[in-house]
């Protein structure tokens, strides 16, 4: 098993009578990009706040770079770069001054890293413009620059592409991928834009009402979100028999509404339709479908809510 950068053990957080996080056992492998998915108020920010030391757990432990002792945890947090919730910048300072304040705070040697980091996020030409006059996208880039200062080994990013224009989204995505592949930076990223997360993450964690309901790798998710043919015919039973006998496969499902989901012959739609028509069936619907991350998440949450 690979080393874990972050592990939580039965981590819980309760605010008065409200359980914000309930016995969460999360683990993030070194070198992975972990997509953290959940609705508003599901517990994503609570977990990141516990990991970064902004709040104290009610019970359970946080293990960061193998450290669980409170003093060592504080030291381990020096190896983290984090952006949590709203843009946290000094509005009366320029981008470079904001970074300088954080460089001094983190004790990062050498002033040159300020310009280098600003260039990395595309803010090197903002000059004397105060941060309060930045657009939301520029503020997001600045926050990311602050998190990247001092070459952290583990990045915790909360909605990092919020407010970015399409080009900015691509740039930040590529930057994060580059940091991950070239420098081995582990990234925990939460975003509401699941399609974007799908292009980036190698691992996923789904959180709902304070409980971590599922963790999986990208491969496992792809298996679960597999493509299929959505087939509706006038006689479902006969169609099922034809698929089994003529097409020689059991890799299909009959849904309660009579729709057949066929997971084989995805590159041969003509073969499938011909077999059904030749058997005298009338095809009412025939289309290629598949789940994306969004529909998988919706189904997962829906299943729990209705369960």
Partner 1 sequence: MGNLLKSELFKLKKDTSFKKLTLALMLIAALFPLIASIYGTEQISVNELFLTIIGKNNYVLKLIPCLLAGYFIASEYSLGTMKSIASSGNSRIRIYISKLMVFSFGAIIFSVILPIGMTGTGAILSQFNDMPDLKYFAQIIIFTMLYAAAFASIMMLFATMFTDSGKTIGLLILIFLLFDGVMFMLASKITLFEYIYNYSVFKLSYDFININALESIEVFKLAIVPIVTYVIFGLLGVLAFQKKEIK
Q: Which of 20, 47, 80, 189 binds partner 1 (CB under 8 A)?
A: 80
How many Cα atoms sit within 13 Å of 292 on the Cβ side? Answer: 8
Task: Report how far residue 223's alpha carbon sits from residue 169's, in angstroms, rounded to the nearest whole number.
Answer: 27
Q: How far is the CB of 91 from partner 1 (least distance, A)?
A: 7
Given candidates 104, 255, 282, 289, which one binds partner 1 under the rule CB under 8 A?
A: 104
Does residue number 95 form part of the binding site for partner 1 (CB under 8 A)? Answer: no
Choices 22-30, 100-108, 202-210, 222-230; region in contact with partner 1 by CB under 8 A: 100-108
CA angle at 231 for the pair 229 and 236, rounded to the nearest 5°: 135
Give the interface segment with partner 1, choosing from 71-79, 197-205, 272-280, 286-294 (CB under 8 A): 71-79
SS3 223: helix
User: What's the closest the beta carbon of residue 234 comes to partner 1, in angstroms?
Assistant: 60
Q: How far is the CB of 131 from partner 1 (least distance, A)?
A: 10
Burial grade of 35 (CB within 10 A; 0-12, 13-18, 19 or more): buried
Q: Is residue 76 at the binding interface for partner 1, with CB under 8 A as the rule?
A: yes
For position 75 contacting partner 1 by CB under 8 A, the verdict is yes
Number of residues that bind partner 1 (CB under 8 A): 34
198 to 237, contacts with partner 1 by CB under 8 A? none
Only one of the segments 76-84, 172-180, 181-189, 277-285 lies at the binding site for partner 1 (rule: CB under 8 A); that segment is: 76-84
102 makes contact with partner 1 (CB under 8 A): yes
Of 171, 113, 115, 112, residue with least CA distance to 140: 171
Q: Among the residues of the chain, which ranges form H helices? A: 44-51, 70-76, 95-106, 112-120, 136-148, 166-183, 194-198, 218-224, 236-245, 269-278, 293-306
107, 110, 256, 307: residue in contact with partner 1 (rule CB under 8 A): 107
Q: Report, in Å, the least distance between residue 164 CB and partner 1.
A: 19
Q: State the DSSP string of 121-150.
A: TT-TT-TT-BGGGS-HHHHHHHHHHHHHTT
Q: Which residues pair with residue 24 across a beta bridge?
A: 11
Q: Which of 9, 19, 29, 100 lies at the binding interface for partner 1 (CB under 8 A)?
A: 100
Token representation of residue 192: 């509401």
Q: Which of 11, 28, 62, 82 binds partner 1 (CB under 8 A)?
A: 82
Report d(CA 178, CA 174) in Å as an integer. 6
What is the DSSP pairing of strand 27-29 with strand 260-262? Answer: unpaired
The yes or no reply on residue 74 touching partner 1 (CB under 8 A) is yes
Applying CB under 8 A, among 19, 93, 213, 218 the residue interacting with partner 1 is 93
Residue ranges in 11-70 that form contacts with partner 1 under rule CB under 8 A: 49, 52-56
Q: Residues 85, 151, 174, 292: which binds partner 1 (CB under 8 A)?
A: 85
For residue 305, how far is the Cα from the chain centroid? 21
Among residues 179, 139, 174, 177, which one has the least CA distance to residue 159?
139
Name which position in 35, 43, 57, 87 contacts partner 1 (CB under 8 A). 87
The span from the CA of 80 to the CA of 69, in Å, is 17
Interacting residues with partner 1 (CB under 8 A): 49, 52-56, 71, 74-80, 82, 84-93, 97, 100-102, 104-107, 146
């Amino acid at each position: 098993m690979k080393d874990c950068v972050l592990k939580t053990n039965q981590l819980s957080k309760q605010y008065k009578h409200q359980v914000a996080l309930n016995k969460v056992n999360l683990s993030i492998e070194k070198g992975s990009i972990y997509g953290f998915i959940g609705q508003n108020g599901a517990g994503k920010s609570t977990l990141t706040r516990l990991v970064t030391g902004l709040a104290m757990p009610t019970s359970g432990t946080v293990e960061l770079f193998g450290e669980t002792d409170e003093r060592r945890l504080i030291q381990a947090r020096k190896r983290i770069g984090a952006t949590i919730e709203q843009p946290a910048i000094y509005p009366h300072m320029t981008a470079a001054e904001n970074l300088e304040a954080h460089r001094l705070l983190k004790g990062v040697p050498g002033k040159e890293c300020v310009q280098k980091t600003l260039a990395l996020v595309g803010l090197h030409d903002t000059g004397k413009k105060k941060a309060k006059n930045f657009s939301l996208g520029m503020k997001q880039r600045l926050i990311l620059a602050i998190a990247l200062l001092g070459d952290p080994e583990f990045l915790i990013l909360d909605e990092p592409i919020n407010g970015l224009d399409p080009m900015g989204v691509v740039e930040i995505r590529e930057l994060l991928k580059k940091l991950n592949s070239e420098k081995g930076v582990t990234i925990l990223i939460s975003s509401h834009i699941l399609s974007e997360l799908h292009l980036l993450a190698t691992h996923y964690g789904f959180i709902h009402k304070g409980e971590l309901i599922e963790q999986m790798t990208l491969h496992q998710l792809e298996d679960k979100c597999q493509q299929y043919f959505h087939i509706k015919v006038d006689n479902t039973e006969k169609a099922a028999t034809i698929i089994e006998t003529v097409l020689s496969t059991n890799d299909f499902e009959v849904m309660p509404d009579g729709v057949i989901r066929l997971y084989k012959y995805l590159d041969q739609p003509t073969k499938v339709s011909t077999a059904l028509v030749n058997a005298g069936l009338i095809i009412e619907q025939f289309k290629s479908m598949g789940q994306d991350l969004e529909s998988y998440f919706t189904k997962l949450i829906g299943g729990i809510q209705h369960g």
